[in-house]
């Protein structure tokens, strides 16, 4: 027999019973495979302070968002406790309002996809660099372990870089990997993403005709790069998916892709109003209606931000480009490619501009719509690897690191 207790977690949401209050309260419910305590929680709404009761199993273990758990009761009809909190029957929620799967953002992983962006002539630096990274794994993971102490004390370096120096056919190469740390368990080399390579010239490598599927992989790799090393990101994409029958699920997936590959704090997306309308109708077919998602606070961040009024997210033009904005320079992927998948061809090109050139040629012409906020100069931590061994680890402002290793 295993020593661990087996259980299942169900996530649910209920609405506050307070008059005119629209507060959505989320909670988790544990079900153990052995014995379960039936009962419920007494909650105080965060927004209107209304007291309400939710019947459930194992209330002690439950965690709550949107309200404070002030008491728990045993058995489903605890008259004494309801009386104590002045609860009437209508304040007691017998069944969960809505059940949902946790929308956890999975680690993204590197989308090799047989179309590298980091290459030179015939040499694919992506597979090469990931192989070299694997060779340094033992040493790197050891350093990550040492770094835990630092991290737990300071908690200020949430982005880690690995500067990987290696040799390929006699030539020195340098690949840069990055990852964001949200909890201690992530302090290892798993899910590192490649954000730069010293010998790859992206403006040579991404220029020509490609299938939509290939364009999608290029864009994916650039979004991962920009999420980790650009100050801000501007995505001008008039069309996402297709308005055809049977496409709803794919359309929703494309929006989810944008949501998981952007850091909204520093990203702006411009699209057509009709395109967002297509997302709403696709969501109604493929998942749950937009209005219900909104009502129950299920909307992904990006979609929520597009929905907020007063922001110029919508434009009528057919211009399409994707830009990673750095200090003093801008990387742009532009061409005929909208956010679609499929075998048919598109033309795209990757180019570098100075900030002024980019403003003159692109953003000034968008009018007032352009308003991306830049990421602050955050402290980062990096490990320097030379020939499979970590020789140094250092904390540094990101701007310094960028100057030294990312140009
Ligand atoms: Zn309330």
Q: How many domains does the chain have?
A: 2
In the predicted structure, residue 95 carries a pLDDT above the cut 90? no
The reply to whether 66 falls in a domain is yes
Phi, psi of 320 (to 5 degrees): -135, 125
Structure tokens at 404: 């030294």
The reply to whether 360 falls in a domain is yes
Whole-angstrom distance, CA of residue 407 vs CA of residue 395 = 19
Confidence label for 149 from pLDDT (cuts 50, 70 and 90): confident
CA of 11 to the centre of ligand 1 (A): 20
CA of 349 to the centre of ligand 1 (A): 52
CA of 72 to the centre of ligand 1 (A): 19
The reply to whether 322 falls in a domain is yes
CA of 15 to the centre of ligand 1 (A): 8
CA of 138 to the centre of ligand 1 (A): 52
In the predicted structure, residue 61 carries a pLDDT above the cut 80? yes
| Whole-number pLDDT of residue 2 | 37
Name 196's Cβ contacts closer than 8 Å, sequence gap at least 6: 118, 175, 176, 225, 229, 405, 406
**What average pLDDT does the segment 228-257 reach?**
93
**What average pLDDT does the segment 223-242 reach?**
95
The boundaries of the domain holding residue 90 are: 7-100
The reply to whether 199 falls in a domain is no
Confidence label for 1 from pLDDT (cuts 50, 70 and 90): very low
Question: Does residue 399 or residue 104 have the better pLDDT?
Answer: 399
The reply to whether 111 falls in a domain is no
Region for 30 from its dihedrals, namely left if φ exceeds 0, alpha if ψ lies in -120 to 50, beta otherwise: beta
In the predicted structure, residue 368 carries a pLDDT above the cut 80? no
CA of 69 to the centre of ligand 1 (A): 13
Last residue of a domain, one of 55, 72, 100: 100
Q: In Å, what is the CA distance from 19 to each residue of 23, 140, 365, 394?
A: 11, 56, 48, 55
Structure tokens at 24: 């959505």
The reply to whether 61 falls in a domain is yes
In the predicted structure, residue 5 carries a pLDDT above the cut 80? no
Q: Which of 387, 353, 153, 340 is nearest to 234 (CA)?
A: 353
The reply to whether 180 falls in a domain is no
Percent of the chain whose predicted confidence (pLDDT) is above 90: 52
Question: Does residue 94 or residue 279 have the better pLDDT?
Answer: 279
SS (H, E, C) the chain: CCCCCCEEEEEEEEECCCCCCCCEEEEEEEEECCCCCEEEEEEEECCCCCEEEEEEECCCCCCEECEEEEEEEECCCCHHHHHHCCCCHHHEECCCCEEECCCCCCCCCCCCCCCCCCEECCEEHHHHHHHHHHHCHHHHHHHHHHHHHHHHHHCCCCEEEEEEEEEECCEEEEEEEEEECCCHHHCCCCCCEEEEECCCCHHHHCEEEEEHHHHHHHHHHHHHHHHHHCCEEEEECCCECCCCCCCHHHHHHHHHHHHHCCCHHHEEEEECHHHHHHHHHHHHHHCCCHHHHHHCCCCCHHHHHHHCCCCCCECCCCCCEEEEECCCEEEEEEECCCECCCCCEEEEEEEEEEHHHHHHHCHHHHHHHCCCCCCCCCEEEEEEEECCEEEEEEEEEHHHHHHHHCC
| Whole-number pLDDT of residue 97 | 56
CA of 341 to the centre of ligand 1 (A): 44
Confidence label for 103 from pLDDT (cuts 50, 70 and 90): very low
Q: For 22-43, what is each residue's pLDDT tens digit?
A: 888 988 888 887 788 889 999 9
The reply to whether 286 falls in a domain is yes
CA of 42 to the centre of ligand 1 (A): 13
Q: Which of 315, 385, 353, 327 is nearest to 161 (CA)?
A: 385
CA of 64 to the centre of ligand 1 (A): 14
CA of 63 to the centre of ligand 1 (A): 18
Q: What rounded mean pLDDT belongs to the chain?
A: 87
Phi, psi of 79 (to 5 degrees): -60, -40
Q: For 298-344, what is each residue's pLDDT tens digit?
A: 777 788 888 775 556 777 788 999 999 998 999 999 999 999 999 99
**What average pLDDT does the segment 58-63 reach?**
89
CA of 287 to the centre of ligand 1 (A): 27
**What average pLDDT does the segment 82-89 reach?**
88
| Whole-number pLDDT of residue 370 | 65
Q: Which of 225, 215, 216 is nearest to 331 (CA)?
A: 225
CA of 294 to the centre of ligand 1 (A): 17
């Amino acid at each position: 027999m295993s020593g661990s207790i087996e259980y299942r977690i169900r996530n649910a949401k209920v609405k506050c019973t307070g008059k005119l209050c629209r507060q959505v309260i989320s909670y988790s419910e544990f079900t153990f495979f052995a014995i379960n305590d039936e009962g419920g929680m007494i909650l105080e709404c965060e927004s209107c302070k209304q007291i309400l009761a939710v019947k459930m199993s194992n209330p002690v273990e439950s965690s709550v968002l949107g309200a404070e758990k002030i008491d728990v009761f045993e058995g489903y009809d605890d008259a004494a406790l309801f009386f104590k909190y002045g609860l009437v029957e209508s304040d007691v929620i017998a069944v969960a309002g809505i059940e949902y799967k946790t929308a956890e953002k999975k680690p993204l992983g590197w989308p090799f996809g047989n179309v590298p962006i980091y290459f030179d002539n015939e040499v694919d630096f992506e597979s090469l660099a990931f192989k070299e990274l694997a060779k340094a794994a033992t040493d790197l993971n050891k350093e990550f372990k040492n770094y835990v102490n630092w991290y737990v004390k300071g908690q200020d370096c949430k982005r880690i870089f690995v500067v990987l120096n290696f040799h390929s056919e006699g030539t020195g190469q340098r690949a840069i990997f990055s990852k964001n740390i949200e909890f201690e368990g992530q302090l290892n080399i798993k899910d590192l993403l490649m954000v730069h390579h010293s010998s790859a010239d992206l403006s040579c490598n991404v220029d020509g005709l490609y299938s939509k599927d290939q364009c999608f992989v290029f864009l994916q790799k650039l979004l991962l790069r920009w999420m980790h090393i650009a100050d801000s990101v501007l995505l001008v994409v008039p069309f996402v998916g297709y308005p055809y029958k049977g496409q709803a699920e794919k359309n929703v997936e494309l929006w989810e892709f944008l949501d998981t590959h952007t850091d909204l704090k520093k990203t702006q997306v411009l699209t057509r109003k009709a395109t967002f309308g297509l997302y709403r109708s696709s969501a109604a077919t493929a998942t749950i209606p937009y209005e219900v998602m909104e009502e129950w606070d299920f909307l992904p961040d990006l979609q929520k931000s597009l929905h907020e009024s007063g922001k110029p997210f919508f434009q009528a033009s057919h211009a399409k480009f994707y830009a990673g904005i750095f200090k003093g320079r801008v990387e742009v992927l532009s061409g005929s490619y909208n956010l679609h998948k499929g075998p048919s061809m598109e033309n795209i090109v990757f180019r570098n501009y100075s900030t002024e050139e980019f403003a003159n040629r692109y953003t000034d012409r968008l009018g007032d719509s352009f308003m991306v906020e830049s990421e602050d100069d955050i402290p980062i931590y990096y490990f320097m690897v030379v020939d499979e061994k970590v020789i140094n680890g250092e904390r540094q402002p990101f701007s310094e690191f960028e100057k030294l290793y990312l140009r």
